Chain A
Amino acid sequence: MRVRSSVFACFILIFEVLGVALFLRGFFPVPVKSSFSSKSRLSDLPAEPLAGSPPNSTRLPQPLFRRVVLMVVDALREDFVFGPSGGSHMPYTRYLVEKGSSHSFVAKARPPTVTMPRIKALTTGSIPGFIDVVMNLNSPALLEDNLIWQAKTAGKRIVFYGDDTWVRLFPKHFMEYDGTTSFFVSDYTEVDNNVTRHLDSTLKRDDWDVLVLHYLGLDHIGHISGPHSSLVRPKLLEMDDVLKKIHGSLVSKEAEGSLPYLLVLCGDHGMTETGSHGGSSEPEVNTALVLISPAFKRKAGMERPGEVEQVDLAPTLALGLGLPVPQNSVGRVIPGVLEERSMRDQLRFLHLNGHQLSCLLRDSTPDYQKEAGFEQFRVAEKAHGSWMKLYLEGNTSEVLTNMGKKVLKQYLEALAAMSSALSRQLGKYDMYSMIAGMVFVFQLLLVLLLAMPEALSSAAAVDLPVRSSLLSLPFYLLCLLLASVHVLVCTSAESSCYFCSLSWGLVFAAVAFSSAMFCILISMAMRRLPLGPTAHGKSPVRSSGGEWSLSELDVLLLAGTVGHTLSLAASSFVEEEHQTWYFLLNTLCLAVFQDVCRKYFREQKGSGDEEEHLLPSKDGHSSAHPKQEVVSEKWLALATPPFTLLCCRLLRSLNQTGVQWAHLPDVSHWLNSAEHKTVLSLLSALCLLLIYLLVQRRCSLVSKVALALGLLGVYSYRAAVGNVLFPWQRSGRAASKGTVEARFVYVFVLGILFSGTKDLLRSQIVTADAKLKSRGLWEIYGGLVLLVSLLFRAHNLPVLCCGLLIQTLMAQFIWKKLHYDAAQTTIMHYWFGQAFFYFQGNSNNIGTVDISVGFVGLESYIEAPAIFLTALSTYAGPLLWACHLVCYLSSERERSPVTVGHGCYCLALLRSVPAAAYVVLVTVLRYHLFIWSVFSPKLLYESMHLLLTAGVCLVFITMEQSPGSSKS
């Protein structure tokens, strides 16, 4: 079967996406869950241990607290409260921490340090799987056993104000609630006022038991201007005032004889030095946790707060309110909270917590009896029983106290051991699905590699021996073998496995596909074999020289691709991947510069007629071109690489990304500060103007007008949102959502895209006019640019503008004039695309994805457009460069009709090599310390990029259609 290169590449990419999806399903472990889907109930609680006689009673100790106020301050980093400046930022809190009856801790949040998984951790006590981050955009109701459900079931009345993630997670759980959306990040006053305005009336009333407040303002300030901005101090003072108000009201309501109150101040996660979060660095993970209650001892002075896990809060609150501990909680009760109670109660509380942990351990581990913690718990339970016997006998001696302390210690050790064993469980992988996915991806990659000589030949078509493979005996044998392996694995594995749970039809299709691929692979390899070593050598020969066919540029392109793939094995290189790309891009520009110099200076050295011959002007027209133009063209060509270098240097200082140097001040911070608003306005106006000038050249008149209006709309959208200023506008105007302006732009985007598509269709079907076709393509490109300029933050507009400028110059003076072939051009486009991905401020950390983009022009959260817009703006760099590649290559078709096919093939190869290598790397490094914080986010980025590239390749196919008709 003979298929064109582009179709072949696209086919391979689509199946690779499927393979990677299977791998991902196996890779992201399902969080530790109890096998029972029910929730803990009071009646299930174990009896109090008693040695000798049958368990006496299911007596529960009196709850510790009557009412609880949980005040969550989003991104409350530990040093905001406990740090050296804590005294001036939060004076009242600090007073309580130092002198009041309180306990303070540094609570360690687990990565991903993103709000929704953290709320889940706070309420369920479980450690949510990493995949929860992906679901963060669309949080469905929490079905797992959790504190809020338990409280509601026990008849507690809960009031909630704050981040509406809670409302979505716990629908119908709250007696009274008011949710504020967290997506308009630029707003940091209104979100908090919306919470505080309810406080006075609520605190006066007596009809609630649990009050939950979630303040978002601090997090938003962090996202806007970082933890050291001048906005942080007033915000923390405001939070301090709120805490003072609540505390004062609770103290005044305190009645003699009834149970005390508990006031909890905590953060869901911290923030980095740039104000973002999501990863696992110390400042992101360390949050403040302050528990205030008259039930605690008064403090004498400031002491260094102890460390606890964030999940420990859930069992503590549950036991404190007299509720069962949520079933999947892996936390352990904070011992300091209990220490004022009688020894009997303390032991009972620890026993309840231990029992819950041991049940969870039993449900989630097959050989739970070997766990040290489980054994310790059994021993402690026995000791507890004998202590109870002595206690009930009325013994009050010193011996009893000492024995009680010993049992307490045993319990605490057992809890710690069980908790850590459960946390370890999280690293369980579904290896079978992972390996199956990996095998798919690798087969496809090998087929892609083996087809290289054919795909890059002048015919640009690949001969796939499908029929002969399907009819051969090995194919059936292999099918049989793989099917039996599948049955064997699935019947023997104890743990659940996704690939086994698939329906038989799907599995059989996968098996048949895999064996067919294997047969094709073998027969293609056999075909290559006699050809010997000439089969390798990726870039086609350019120079006339025989054995040394690779130029320095080719060596660089190959070494860069391979080197980048290898560098992904080191966590630092993944974190700092932008450095790799900037470095490679710089070297590429220098290499191109050297090529340009060689071309033009060799001419200068050579004789006059040689110069005429080498210059790009066709011999027939050479007299028509004045000498002047040729000279200026030469200097422009010479200036292009240095100009590109300069642009890249400027762009790289626009957004600091990565981890190690992310805290350094960058230009975008400077631009976004309030006093430089005028500069930002001027800059974005200039950029929009330049974008217009660069894009309009090849558009039709209608599209030109639409583009101009659209770009004006972009500016007024930015002005409405409050990023930039109109000259006549006072800076104090209230910011709106800018929905009208954004929709105005969307209309023009759709208009331009429509007109481009119409041109394309007409050129394909009616006239076969190459000019019309390239105009149509360019208009689609222009529509994309307009959309991206709407989505990009104002300070990122220079990235877009520089990208367009570099594309124009390079296409004009470098790629065409130096006769780079399709493969080289594609690799360069890909490198530029990668570098621009990081120029716009992205990184391999989930935290840098700008989700607020999903709300441009929308009144509320709608899933499909939000995800589409977020993906588009995140991958704007690579996408625009790939689109430019399509435009450029199809305009080059007159020179060589197969360029589009070659380009598509190279793009597919460039994308699949790192993706396939990364899948293997992640499998090998699955027990690496940084697997969750560094490698898995990168895996998600890689798979998303693979998916997008498959989409771009589909566009390539449509461009390559009807190859005969458009030859002019």
Chain B
Amino acid sequence: MWDHEIRAMASTHAIIAASVFMATILPAVLVPGFSVYGTHLLWLYSVSAAVAAVSVSVFWLLGISPPTKKHTLGYKLSRLFRSCLYFFLSCLFFHTVVILYGAPLIESALETFSLAVLLTSLTTLRCLCVLGPNIQAWIRVFSRHGAMSVWDTCLQITVAFTLIGAWLGAFPIPLDWDRPWQVWPVSCSLGAMIGYLTGLVVAPAWIHYHRKQLTYKCK
């Protein structure tokens, strides 16, 4: 059963990674003057949208999201609304954290917010897909020894890799090399993206090699 889940995870990740590459390549072909550095915000939004759309549809198709208790339209709508709210709140949260890290307050607010949107669609959106808009479950997954399924472990790994990638991405900014990718927030968003892709590769592999040691309370 675990092999099956790991295979599903690997294929899901492959699809998401492919969507990232498509979201980079397609605009480059279609939109004149598109480049990852030059029109960075455009790339950022195209990638965020692609990741968001693909993750939502894949996870919905796979049925990994926790089964809803009620099937009334109103309940579903309220879930959708709460998810959107959480998404937006998480954007604000990331924005605040990035500003606390020293990003200028007013000057490049749009760039900072775009980075927050990217981080949200790489991390929070996945939480929303896997766990649903349920804060208690989030706290459980992100506290020590809190993972209850393979997907929880996978979620931990990808989120950690994305955040560490963005964190490491900030280091080249003070270097005096004057490269285009040192401009705010290019290095951070690239770092987050590279971290995310690494996380996508690492998560199934790590779970595969540690499947003997992994024991979950439930399931």
Contacts and interface: CB of A to CB of B under 8 A. Distances in A.
Interface stretch (A27-35, A575-583, A631-639): A575-583
Contact of B143 (A586, A598, A660): A598
Interface stretch (B51-59, B95-103, B117-125, B194-202): B95-103
B3 interface: no
Interface string A356-380: 0000000000000000000000000
A579 B102 contact: yes
A649 B102 contact: yes
B139 interface: yes
A660 B102 CA distance: 14
Contacts of B16: none
B67 interface: no
Contacts, number: 42
A645 interface: yes
Contact of B101 (A575, A576, A586): A586
Interface string A569-596: 0111101100100110011001000000
Interface in A839-894: none
Interface string A544-585: 000000000000000000000000001111011001001100
Interface string A631-655: 0000000000000011011001000
Interface stretch (B84-92, B126-134, B169-177): B169-177
Contacts of A601: 139, 143
A601 B136 CA distance: 10
A576 B139 contact: no
B144 interface: yes
Contact of B175 (A570, A590, A648, A652): A570
A575 B101 CA distance: 18
A41 interface: no
A597 B174 CA distance: 32
A649 B175 contact: no
B167 interface: yes
Given A598-B144, A602-B143, A605-B139, A586 B175 contact: no
A583 B170 contact: yes
A572 B139 contact: no
A602 B146 CA distance: 11
A573 B174 contact: yes
Contacts of A658: 174
B178 to A, nearest CB: 10
B115 to A, nearest CB: 16
B110 to A, nearest CB: 19
Contact of A590 (B97, B140, B174): B97
Interface string B166-189: 010010011110000000000000
Contact of A645 (B100, B136, B143): B100
Contacts of B175: 570, 572-573
B99 A649 contact: yes
A363 B101 CA distance: 55
Given A598-B143, A598-B144, A583 B176 contact: no
A541 to B, nearest CB: 15
A931 to B, nearest CB: 16
Contacts of A648: 100
Interface string B136-179: 10011001100000000000000000000001001001111000
Contacts of B144: 598
Nearest to B135: A601
A646 B100 contact: yes
Contacts of A587: 167
A282 to B, nearest CB: 13
Contacts of B170: 583
Given A587-B167, A598-B143, A649 B176 contact: no
Most buried by A among B100, B173, B176: B100
Given A572-B176, A598-B143, A602-B143, A583 B102 contact: yes
Contacts of B101: 582-583, 586
A586 B144 CA distance: 22
A309 B100 CA distance: 45
A582 B99 CA distance: 12
Interface in A434-479: none
Contact of A572 (B97, B102, B143, B174): B174
Contacts of B136: 605
Contacts of A570: 175
B174 A660 contact: yes
B149 to A, nearest CB: 18
Contacts of B139: 597, 601, 605
A598 B174 CA distance: 34
Interface string A884-924: 00000000000000000000000000000000000000000
Nearest to A571: B176
Interface in A593-649: 597-598, 601-602, 605, 645-646, 648-649
Contacts of A598: 143-144
Interface in A329-361: none
Nearest to A589: B100
Contacts of A652: 102
A571 B139 CA distance: 42
Interface in A102-127: none
Contacts of B97: 590
A349 to B, nearest CB: 42
B81 to A, nearest CB: 25
Nearest to A582: B102
A288 to B, nearest CB: 27
A590 B143 CA distance: 15
Most buried by A among B140, B167, B173, B174: B174
Interface string A923-954: 00000000000000000000000000000000
Interface in A671-691: none
B100 A586 contact: yes
A308 B175 CA distance: 30
A646 B100 CA distance: 7
Nearest to B172: A572
Contacts of A645: 100
Contacts of A579: 102, 173-174
A590 B97 CA distance: 9
B174 to A, nearest CB: 4
A649 B100 contact: yes
A858 to B, nearest CB: 38
A571 B174 CA distance: 10
A598 B140 CA distance: 10
B100 A576 contact: no
A941 to B, nearest CB: 18
Contacts of B100: 586, 645-646, 648-649
A587 B167 CA distance: 9
A942 B2 CA distance: 55
A646 B102 CA distance: 11
A660 B183 CA distance: 13
A94 B99 CA distance: 46
A784 to B, nearest CB: 29
Nearest to A563: B171
Contacts of A586: 100-102
Nearest to B143: A598
Contact of B176 (A590, A597, A646, A660): A660
Interface in A655-673: 658, 660
22 contacts: A570-B175, A571-B176, A572-B174, A572-B175, A572-B176, A573-B174, A573-B175, A575-B174, A579-B102, A579-B173, A582-B101, A583-B170, A586-B101, A590-B97, A598-B143, A598-B144, A601-B139, A602-B143, A605-B136, A605-B140, A649-B99, A658-B174
Interface of A: 570-573, 575-576, 579, 582-583, 586-587, 590, 597-598, 601-602, 605, 645-646, 648-649, 652, 658, 660
Query: What are the 9 A-B residue pairs with the smallest beta carbon separation, nearest first?
Result: A576-B174, A572-B175, A572-B176, A645-B100, A649-B100, A579-B174, A586-B101, A572-B174, A598-B143
Given A583-B101, A649-B99, A660-B174, 13 more contacts: A572-B174, A576-B174, A579-B173, A579-B174, A583-B102, A590-B97, A598-B143, A601-B139, A602-B143, A605-B136, A645-B100, A649-B100, A658-B174
